[in-house]
Amino acid sequence: MLLVKSISKIRLVFDTCSLTEKGCLYIGRLISQEPKLEEIDLSIRYNDVKFEGVQYICAGLIQIKKIKKLKLNFEGTLIGDYSANYLASCLLKLRSLHSVDLNL
């Protein structure tokens, strides 16, 4: 078993894999466990994550205090206006963020 004390970059791809809100809960928990993350590349294209899934991912993101670069690909998830607004307000809380690449 390999133990990594901390990582600064992470790339997670869950495209077209029947990811649900529960999966998003685990993604949010995973990224919140790495407080030194500076770059996140998260793709959940073509999954039905609903509003709750967006909430879980946002809950994980706002735990990261030093994030500088964020790439989110939600293409084909049909998250809707309410979820998109929630995501936008979450991103505004990330004060250390320098770069955002967002695909809805």
CATH number of the domain encompassing residue 33? 3.80.10.10
pTM for the full model? Answer: 0.90
Domain of 39, in residue numbers:
14-103
At 19-54, the pLDDT tens digits run: 999 999 999 999 999 888 999 999 999 999 999 999
Stated as kind and residue range, the H or E segment containing 87 is: helix 80-92
Question: What pLDDT, on a 0 to 100 scale, did the predictor assign at position 45?
Answer: 95
Compute the distance between CA of residue 48 and CA of residue 45 in angstroms, rounded to an integer.
9
Q: How confident is the model at residue 4 (pLDDT cuts 50, 70, 90)?
A: low
**Is the predicted pLDDT of residue 1 greater than 50, yes or no?**
no
Domain presence at residue 9 = no
Question: What pLDDT, on a 0 to 100 scale, did the predictor assign at position 47?
Answer: 95
- Number of structural domains the chain divides into: 1
